[in-house]
Amino acid sequence: MTRSNRFTVRSWKPLAAIAAAAMLISPLAACGGGSGSSSADIPAGGTDDGTKLTLWVRSDKERQATNVAEAYNKSHKNQIKVELVPSEDMEGKVGTSSQTDSLPDLLSGDVVRIPYWASEGIFMDITEQIDGLDNKDDLQQGHIDAGTVDGAEYTLPFFTDQSVLVWNKDLYEQAGLDPDKGPSTVEEFYEQAKAVADLGQDGVAGTYVGGQCGGAAVFMTFPMIWASGEEVMNEDGTKALLDGGASKAVFKMYRDLANTKNGIGAGSQVENCSTWTTPFANGKIGVMPYAGASVATLIEAESKGGPHIGVSAIPGTKKGNGSSFLGGDAVGISKDSKNAAQAWNFLQWLTTEDAQQEAFADKGDTASNLKVIENGYKDVDERIQIANGVLKNGRTPVSPRFNEAFNASGSPWQILLQDQIWGDSGKLKADNQAITDVLAQ
C-alpha cells in the first residue's frame, strides 16, 4: 500500500465525523412522510391571508410563470414568488431539496417527469380538493392523470405545451409553394421541405431535428405516428412499438431529407436541446414540428420583422386531423409546504376561467381550461386558435421510465433516431428492443 493511500484511509476512521453522519442519516430514513401541514385542514377555497408562497419553475417557462404570478399577486393578499431553476438541473434540485425537507410550497415540473415525482411522495395528496373542484372536467385531463398514483391525485395542469407544425411563409413563397398551405401528410412534409432546401440559400434548410435531444424528438415524431393511426408504446408503457409501418415511413422521410443537400439544418445531428427552436425562429428553416407555447413568441417577432409563419396540426402518413404531443408542466403542493391552505388558494384560482383567461389566453399562451380554449381566444391571432385546436387530438404518453428511455441524454430512443436518420437504418428492431428493455424494468 502506498503512503498517501494509507494515510487517506486511516484519516477517515477515528473521526467523530462518523457519529455525526450517523445522526444525519437517521432523520433521512424517516423522510417521505413530510414535515409540512396536512391536506385535511384545507378549506375548499383555500386561505388568502397574505402569506408569501414560493413556486419553483424550470427556467424555460419564465415568461408564463411570471404572467401567472403577476395576475395572482394583483388580486390576492397572498404573494407568489417565482424561483427559477435551470431546466437541466430541475430533477437534481428537487431531489436534494426533498431529502432535506426544503421543497417550496408549490412545485411545478415537466409533465413527463411528474409520474415519477408523484410516486416518490414529493407532492401532498390533494385528491379531496381536486375532486371538489366544480370545474374539474374542464381541465386538461392528461396533467391530472400524470400526477395520479393509485387513485391519489397530486397535481393540476400548470402550463400546456402542445407540439404543432409551423412553416416559414417567406421561404415557401420563394420556393414557389403556397404560403397558406402547410403539409397535410408526411409525404407533403418531405416535398415542401425539399423545395425549401432546393432554394440553396446560405444557412437555409428544409427542416430541423433535435438529433441529440430525445425530448424534442418525441415532441416532433410521436404525433406523426399517432396521426397515422399507430402507437408508440403499449398501453401500460412497458414496451416500445417504434418499428411499425408508420414509424418506418416517418424515419425514412427524415432520412431522405438528411440525404438531400440542405434538407436538414446544420447542427441537427448534434442538437442537444439547447437551441432546437432557434434556427426556425431565425427564419432559416422551411417547415418543422414546433413548441406550441412558442408560437405566441413567433407571432410577436413577426410584427417586429421576424419571419411570417403558418401553423397547423402535425400530419401523419395519411390525411386527417393530425395529432400533437401534449407536454407542458403540472403543479402541486409539495410535501414540505407549511402553507398548504394558502397554496391551495392559488391552485384553485389557477383553474378558474378568469385566471386562465388573464394569465394565458390574453397573453397568447395555451390555457389548460377547455372552456377558455373554446371561448377565450376570440380576439387573438387565428394561428393561436389553430395551435389550441390541436389539443383535442393530442396525447401524453405515460410511463414511469419514460425519462430514462426517451429524454435522458444518450437514451436508447436517441440512438434509434440517430441510426434511422443518419446511421444504420437496418438496426430498427434492435434499437426498438433497447427502448423496451428500459421501459420494462
Partner 1 sequence: MSAASPQSQSKARLRKRPRSKAAMAETRRGWSYAAPDWVFIIGLFIVPIVLLVVMAGSRWSLMGGNRGWNFPENFIKVFEHPLLLKSMGFTLKYTVIVTIILLALGLGLALLVQESSKWNSILRTCFLLPSATGLASASLLFYALYSPQVGPVTRILSFFGLMEADGSVLATGSSALWATTLVIVWRYSGYYMLLMMIGLQSIPGDLYEAARMDGAGTWRIFRSITLPLMKPTIVMCLVYCVTGSILAFDQFFIITRGGPNNETLTVVQLIYSFAFESKKDLGMAAALSLLVLVFLVIINSIQMRGMRDDTK
Partner 2 sequence: MKTPMWKRVVGYILQALLALLFVSPLLWVLISSFSPQPGSSQIDGWGINNYLTLFGFQEGLPRYLFNSIVVSLVAVVFSVLVCTLAGYSFSRFNYPGRNLGFMVTLSILMVPYASLLIPMMVWFKSIGLNNSLVGVGLVLTLFQLPMSVFIMRIAFDAIPKSLEEAALCDGCNSLQALVKVLMPSVKPSMVTVGLLAFLEAWNNFMMPLYLVSSENAPLPLALVNMRSQAMGAIDYGITEAGVVVLMIPCAVLFLALQKYYVRGFMAGAVKG
Least Å distance between CB 163 and partner 1? 21
Q: Considering CB under 8 A, how many residues would be counted as binding partner 1?
A: 59
Backbone torsions φ then ψ of 220, nearest 5 degrees? -90, -45
* CB-facing half-sphere around the CA of 298: CA atoms within 13 A: 28
Least Å distance between CB 138 and partner 2? 26
Least Å distance between CB 269 and partner 1? 5
Of 2, 430, 395, 393, the C-alpha closest to 240 is 430
Quick check: 44 binds partner 1 (CB under 8 A)? no
| Rounded distance between C-alpha atoms, residue 351 and residue 356, angstroms | 7
Residues paired with residue 166 on neighbouring β-strands, in sequence order: 288, 311
Q: Considering CB under 8 A, how many residues would be counted as binding partner 2?
A: 50
| Rounded distance between C-alpha atoms, residue 35 and residue 356, angstroms | 32
Least Å distance between CB 71 and partner 2? 17
Residues paired with residue 52 on neighbouring β-strands, in sequence order: 79
> Using CB under 8 A, which residues numbered 16 to 55 contact partner 2?
21, 23-24, 28, 54
Query: Contact, 326 vs 391, CB < 8 A?
Result: yes
Quick check: 267 binds partner 2 (CB under 8 A)? no
Of 78 and 97, the one with the shorter C-beta distance to partner 1 is 97
> Using CB under 8 A, which residues numbered 86 to 145 contact partner 1?
88-89, 91-92, 94-95, 98-99, 116-117, 120-122
The entry of partner 1, partner 2, none near residue 161 (CB within 5 to 8 angstroms by kind) is partner 2
Question: Which DSSP category does 439 fall into?
Answer: H
Quick check: 297 binds partner 2 (CB under 8 A)? yes
Quick check: 284 binds partner 1 (CB under 8 A)? yes
Residue 305 corresponds to which cell in the numbers above?
420583422
**Out of 38, 75, 102, 282, the residue judged to bind partner 1 by CB under 8 A:** 282
**Out of 31, 84, 380, 440, the residue judged to bind partner 1 by CB under 8 A:** 31
Q: What is the CA radius of gyration of the chain?
A: 24
The entry of partner 2, partner 1, none near residue 116 (CB within 5 to 8 angstroms by kind) is partner 1
Residue 70 corresponds to which cell in the numbers above?
403577476
Please state whether beta strands 106-110 and 79-85 pair in parallel, antiparallel, or not at all (unpaired): unpaired
Residue 35 corresponds to which cell in the numbers above?
414535515
Of 329, 291, 275, 326, the C-alpha closest to 65 is 329
- What is the binding site for partner 1 (CB under 8 A)? 2-5, 8, 11-12, 15, 17-18, 20-21, 24-25, 28-29, 31-32, 88-89, 91-92, 94-95, 98-99, 116-117, 120-122, 203, 205, 211-212, 261-262, 265-267, 269-270, 272-275, 278-279, 282, 284, 403-404, 408-411, 414-415, 418
